[in-house]
């Protein structure tokens, strides 16, 4: 923030200490007349809390939408297409992690190590692949029961 204040004509109003929103749910938060990106929009990985790539990606989609003169609705439509599969796969990944793998990282590391194309595997792991679609109803049921306070 100091960097921004030093280099741009910004005025701070009511400064507060801030350490992140945290968005552990599978719904996208939408404002009718405002574009929300990153964590506050819900684009955070429910498995391990990652959100940097999602923040960049949603920021890119938002800036493109603004430059193209499109309305907020257009941004949320594209964001939904891009992020909904990720949010759904997060539910399944978290379920599998908690039930079968949380004491032993080797299960996941071995899967990645033994896959022919680790990047392709990780991409499918985060994009609601066929197995995740099959597992989703059970995972969602478990997660709703386990975390009644989350918006799932
Ligand atoms: C310890 C830790 C480790 C992490 N490790 C990883 C990792 O390895 N990989 C990964 O992908 N993710 C990781 N994350 C998560 C990642 O940092 C966040 O998901 C990501 O930074 C979210 O980006 P964002 O732009 O949505 O929000 P933020 O990075 O939180 O940025 C929001 C900004 O808005 C500012 N702000 C808030 N309110 C106002 C206001 N009213 N006026 C003006 N400014 C305001 C805040 O000061 C902040 O600078 C980690 C998080 C933590 C806490």
The answer as to whether 136 is a domain residue is yes
Is the CB–ligand 1 distance for residue 39 below 6 Å? yes
One-letter-per-residue 3-state SS of the chain = CHHHHHHCCCCCCCCCCCCCCCCCCCCCCCECCECCCHHHHCCCCCCCCCCHHHHHHHHHHHHHHHHCCCCHHHHHHHHHHHHHHHHHHHHHHHHHHHHHHCCCCHHHHHHHHHCCCHHHHHHHHCCCCHHHHHHHHHHHHHHHHHCCCCCC
User: What pLDDT was estimated at residue 144?
Assistant: 93
Q: How far apart (Å, rounded) are the C-alpha atoms in residues 2 and 61? A: 27
For the entire predicted model, the pTM comes to: 0.86
Domain extent, residue 32, equals 21-146
User: What pLDDT was estimated at residue 131?
Assistant: 93
The answer as to whether 7 is a domain residue is no
User: What pLDDT was estimated at residue 150?
Assistant: 85
User: What pLDDT was estimated at residue 90?
Assistant: 93
Is the CB–ligand 1 distance for residue 20 below 6 Å? yes
The answer as to whether 60 is a domain residue is yes
User: What pLDDT was estimated at residue 19?
Assistant: 78
The answer as to whether 151 is a domain residue is no
Residue identified by tokens 């997660």 is: 143
The answer as to whether 99 is a domain residue is yes
Give the distance (Å) from ligand 1 centre to CA of residue 51: 8
User: One digit per residue, pLDDT tens: the chain, 152 residues?
Assistant: 788 889 999 888 888 888 787 778 788 999 888 999 999 999 999 888 899 999 999 999 999 999 999 889 899 999 999 999 999 999 999 999 898 877 777 888 888 899 999 999 888 888 899 999 999 999 999 999 999 988 88
If you take atom 47 of ligand 1, which residue's CA is the nearest one?
A: 18
User: What pLDDT was estimated at residue 12?
Assistant: 84
Which residues are within 8 A (CB) of 29 and not within 5 positions of it... i.e. 6 or more apart? 23, 36, 40, 41, 42
The answer as to whether 64 is a domain residue is yes
User: What pLDDT was estimated at residue 27?
Assistant: 85
């Amino acid at each position: 923030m100091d960097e921004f204040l030093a280099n741009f004509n910004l005025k701070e109003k009511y400064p507060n200490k801030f350490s992140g929103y945290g968005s552990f749910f599978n719904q996208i938060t939408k404002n009718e007349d405002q574009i929300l990106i990153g964590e506050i929009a819900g684009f955070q990985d429910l498995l391990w809390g990652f959100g940097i790539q999602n923040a960049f990606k949603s920021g890119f989609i938002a800036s493109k939408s603004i430059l193209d003169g499109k309305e907020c609705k257009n941004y949320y439509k594209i964001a939904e297409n891009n992020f909904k599969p990720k949010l759904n796969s997060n539910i399944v990944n978290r379920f599998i992690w908690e039930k079968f793998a949380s004491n032993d990282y080797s299960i996941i590391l071995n899967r990645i190590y033994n896959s022919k194309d680790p990047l392709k595997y990780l991409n499918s792991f985060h994009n609601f692949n066929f197995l995740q679609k099959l597992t989703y109803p059970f995972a969602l049921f478990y997660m709703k029961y386990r975390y009644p306070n989350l918006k799932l």
